[in-house]
């Protein structure tokens, strides 16, 4: 059975040398253990941070040791009363084709009759991130102007729809025409800005004649620099991520420092957050998102690569923008 390990720490954008595949043996499960078959693997931008060896909110991956992250799997053998053969489960697991895990390492997922990969996207960590960032920090109100960067990604696609539901005017910043069409035509965003085509400050100014009340920050860098001058008094800025800085090479200058001036002028509130801070509220978020997805009100997209060996390319694709919605790897059929 294959396992994906960290081969070397990347400097800048990860490449094929960052990863290595290893053959492993998977034993039989013991008492209160499960044998799982991986169906889907989630590749996420935060994994880039774990590839570096520095202090963070989550410990670094170790060279020669498995990469891990969100996995959806099917129970092949259960030695626990809590699970039955065939159950679909999810958890933070090593990236490998089969696993023996303790029963309490995973939870059953209710996929509302949808493909189980939904538990890694809008009904998983990215969906919850959008929910808490937008609803608890952003707090969108009727008629407000909301701007979201990384708007067609796993988090962005949910964040924008939540702001629309609250009656806000929503503008998304994206990297391609296809993504612009997706967020306006399918998701119902009011306007899309394509940052790779031209003057973002001008486009943003035109799209936001009344200024910006909420900026949902996913990318950082120059795109966000165009946002700060437009912040309204008492704006809120959920600081979710800064993907444009994740692959800076050693010694490169991080331009994020200029924001403070604008925050003071607008008395805007900017708050960094981790989805895990809201663990006490996950249940209500799953219910609300689940109902909206099941009824078709909340729409989502997935970009799925096939085969365990495509995990490195799927991960690198996050930084070139190949994904619309959640970037996933399909490892096996159910």
Would you tell me which residues interact with ligand NDP (CB under 6 A)? 44-46, 126, 129, 150, 152-156, 174-176, 179, 218-219, 223, 240-244, 273-275, 318-319, 321, 323, 327
CB of 39 to ligand NDP, least distance (A): 19
At residue 171's C-alpha, the angle toward residues 168 and 174, to 5°, is 150
CB-nearer residue toward ligand NDP: 36 or 134 = 134
The span from the CA of 265 to the CA of 278, in Å, is 30
Write phi, then psi, for 21 (nearest 5 degrees): -100, 140
CB-nearer residue toward ligand NDP: 145 or 323 = 323
CB of 173 to ligand NDP, least distance (A): 7
CB-nearer residue toward ligand NDP: 151 or 292 = 151
CB of 237 to ligand NDP, least distance (A): 13
Render 206-250 in DSSP notation, one character per residue.
HH-TT-EEEEEBSS-HHHHHTTGGGEEEEEEEEE---GGGTTPPT
CB of 257 to ligand NDP, least distance (A): 17
What residue has token string 């991130």?
Answer: 129
Most distant pair of Cα atoms in the chain: their distance = 63
Supply 149's token pair.
């960067």
Render 239-308 in DSSP notation, one character per residue.
E---GGGTTPPTTPPPGGGGHHHHHHHHT-EEEE--GGGGGGGHHHHHHHHHHHHHTTSS---EEEEESG
Supply 153's token pair.
């990604």
Specify whether the CB–CB gap between 2 and 66 falls below 8 A.
no
CB-nearer residue toward ligand NDP: 29 or 126 = 126
CB-nearer residue toward ligand NDP: 34 or 240 = 240
CB-nearer residue toward ligand NDP: 32 or 277 = 277
CB of 297 to ligand NDP, least distance (A): 20
Of 227, 219, 228, nearest to 246 by C-alpha is 219
Burial class (CB within 10 angstroms; exposed 0-12, middle 13-18, buried 19+) of 258? exposed
CB of 78 to ligand NDP, least distance (A): 30
CB-nearer residue toward ligand NDP: 10 or 241 = 241
CB-nearer residue toward ligand NDP: 219 or 226 = 219
CB of 245 to ligand NDP, least distance (A): 8
Q: Helix (H, G, I), strand (E, B), or coil: what is residue 166?
A: coil
The span from the CA of 233 to the CA of 99, in Å, is 52
CB of 60 to ligand NDP, least distance (A): 16
């Amino acid at each position: 059975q294959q396992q994906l390990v960290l081969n070397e720490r990347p400097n800048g954008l990860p490449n094929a040398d960052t990863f290595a595949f290893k053959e492993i043996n998977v034993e039989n499960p013991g008492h209160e253990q499960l044998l799982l078959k991986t169906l889907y693997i989630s590749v996420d931008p935060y994994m880039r941070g774990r590839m570096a060896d520095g202090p963070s909110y989550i410990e670094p991956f170790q060279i020669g040791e498995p990469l891990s992250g969100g996995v959806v799997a099917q129970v092949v053998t259960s030695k626990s009363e809590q699970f039955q053969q065939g159950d679909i489960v999810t958890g933070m697991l090593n990236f490998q084709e089969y696993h023996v895990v303790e029963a309490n390492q995973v939870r059953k997922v209710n996929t509302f009759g949808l493909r189980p990969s939904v538990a890694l996207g809008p009904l998983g960590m990215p969906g919850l991130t959008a929910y808490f960032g937008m609803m608890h920090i952003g707090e969108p109100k009727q008629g407000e102007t909301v701007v979201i960067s990384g708007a067609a990604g796993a988090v962005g696609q949910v964040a924008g729809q939540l702001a629309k539901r609250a009656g806000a005017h929503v503008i998304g910043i994206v990297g391609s025409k296809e993504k612009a069409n997706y967020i306006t035509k399918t998701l119902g965003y009011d306007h899309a800005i394509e940052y790779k085509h031209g003057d973002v400050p001008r486009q943003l100014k035109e799209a936001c004649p009344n200024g910006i009340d909420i900026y949902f920050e996913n990318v950082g860098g120059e795109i966000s620099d165009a946002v700060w001058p437009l912040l309204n008094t008492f704006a809120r800025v959920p600081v979710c991520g800064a993907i444009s800085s994740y692959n800076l090479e050693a010694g490169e200058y991080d331009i994020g420092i200029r924001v403070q001036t604008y925050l003071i002028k607008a008395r805007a509130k900017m708050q960094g957050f981790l989805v895990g801070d809201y663990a006490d509220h996950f249940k209500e978020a799953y219910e609300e998102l689940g109902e909206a997805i099941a009824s078709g009100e909340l729409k989502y997209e997935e970009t799925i690569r096939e085969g365990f060996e495509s995990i490195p390319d799927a991960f690198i694709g996050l930084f070139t923008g190949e994904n619309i919605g959640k970037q996933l790897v399909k490892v096996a059929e159910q």
